[in-house]
Chain A
């Protein structure tokens, strides 16, 4: 969920939801083997992300609309995604299977997350493509001047973001089951992790995610408050971070 484009995407949680429903459709209903289903979902999500960018972002960027316009358009897309899913699958939650059985689900989630993290880190730190993403996030004009294709970077980042978000949705779907309202809480958790860790750093997202999860679990276990309030802890942390240190724990490299 890293946005070198400066456009923060409210639809990211809905991508996760689409991924989860993809899991339900392919794995539960059609009973495809897990690896095939996973690759199919990943490919589908890449297309969804690319299409989202085409429809809701590129026309606005080309028109020179203010930066806020695509963000709001994506908010509209959020509702479109969610309602399409609820129209197609109905409002009831659906079961998504675990690949390795219930007891290994956590291991599997950690493994895939680490895999995605490693891939993202390698991509951003070690490849020319990744460097060009960082250049765009630091200074769009200068990046365009040295010959980076801005609209291609934007398109790839949306496709990649949707791919990762779809995988995330697929991963947590066995625990939470696929539901058409799952997107917004997912997005808020993601944003919280991102803001705490530091926007625009791959390590930041991982660190932030871990911190949020720990904070929530520790308050459930040790803090003298009812467990329902624990849902509020990440939100409170998010607000505090935004107000006190919006750049996050790890600063983007200058």
Chain B
């Protein structure tokens, strides 16, 4: 009961913020929330399951494009389009994950990198279906039960998405499945010896987190009401990885801290160094791996529980 009250309070507070923000700051806030949702699910894939995949951001794009194409190019109703978009994400994720389980760290990274690049090529060359390099523009969220959700109310929808993502991952992490994922990450042989189906655990973790990314993408599609290839490029896939590593891989709080910090940092830095904040990210990333592999959240832990 208390847990439910806590979730509700979080939902109300996080949504209420949106009603006090100007429309520009609302936009910033929405994208921040979406990055948090992505970082949370990527953290489960990379930090907890130990799979280095660059396809996570591509699935975000697949979700966004799929729902827009089903809705406006094929004229489907919203619930059907959403279900089909989720199905598309799940099918592509399964098609990649099942053969990929035979691949170790680096090869998985390459295969998913190729997938992400391939996705961009398909977007650029998709003709009228994907809108080519210009993408698809000038659509709007259809009415749900006769209501057009917009402004801060749509931000509330995104808050729901973040909390739902967190709730699912939190439950999973605490279940036998989360422990199985950690076991497979740390020592696949030992996990297999303990009766964990290594291949199946990897496939489920990959598919599930990819679908979560796809759902976040579906929600994103109606933030800017435009989808185009540059948004879903490789840059952001790297950024996502940096967020999770700098924040602290394997910890939900780390993912949130990393996402918030790296999303807001450019706003602080751009008056100082213009568009070269990526250089700062790169340096932070290398520093994090060299000095503090557990990320910012590791520093926080060390301060809270000093050794000796």
A residues near B, CB below 8 A? 8, 55-56, 59-60, 65, 67-69, 71-73, 75-80, 82-84, 86-87, 184, 188, 191-192, 195, 226, 228-229, 231-232, 235-236, 238-239, 242-244, 246
| C-alpha gap A236/B282 in the complex (Å) | 29
What are 6 residue pairs bridging A and B, where the CB atoms are less than 8 Å apart in the complex? Answer: A79-B278, A188-B117, A232-B121, A239-B114, A242-B114, A244-B99
A185–chain B nearest beta-carbon distance, Å? 8
- Write out, one digit per residue, whether chain B residues 210-254 have a CB within 8 A of any chain A CB (1) or not (0): 000000000000000000000000100010011001000000000
Given A235-B114, A243-B111: A73 in contact with B125 (beta carbons within 8 A): no
Closest to B118 in A: A235
- B166 CB within 8 Å of chain A: no
Q: In B258-308, which residues have CB < 8 Å from any A CB? A: 276, 278-279, 281-283, 285-286, 289-290, 293
Closest to B274 in A: A87
Q: Find out whether the CB atom of A67 lies under 8 angstroms from the CB atom of B105.
A: yes
Q: Find out whether the CB atom of A239 lies under 8 angstroms from the CB atom of B115.
A: yes
CB-CB < 8 A to A195: which residues of B?
A: 107, 110
Given A69-B289, A184-B234: A86 in contact with B276 (beta carbons within 8 A): yes
| C-alpha gap A147/B65 in the complex (Å) | 56
| C-alpha gap A86/B274 in the complex (Å) | 12
Query: How many A-B contacts are there with CB distance less than 8 Å?
Result: 112
Q: Find out whether the CB atom of A72 lies under 8 angstroms from the CB atom of B289.
A: yes
Q: Find out whether the CB atom of B279 lies under 8 angstroms from the CB atom of A83.
A: yes
- B2 CB within 8 Å of chain A: no
Q: Could you say which interface size class chain B belongs to?
A: 35 or more
Q: Find out whether the CB atom of B52 lies under 8 angstroms from the CB atom of A80.
A: no
| C-alpha gap A76/B276 in the complex (Å) | 14
Given A188-B117, A243-B100: A68 in contact with B282 (beta carbons within 8 A): no
- B53 CB within 8 Å of chain A: no
| C-alpha gap A60/B293 in the complex (Å) | 10
Closest to B100 in A: A243
Q: Find out whether the CB atom of B102 lies under 8 angstroms from the CB atom of A83.
A: no
Q: In B1-56, which residues have CB < 8 Å from any A CB? A: 50, 52
CB-CB < 8 A to B281: which residues of A?
A: 79
Q: Find out whether the CB atom of A80 lies under 8 angstroms from the CB atom of B279.
A: yes
Closest to A77 in B: B286
A81–chain B nearest beta-carbon distance, Å? 8
- B145 CB within 8 Å of chain A: no
| C-alpha gap A133/B257 in the complex (Å) | 42
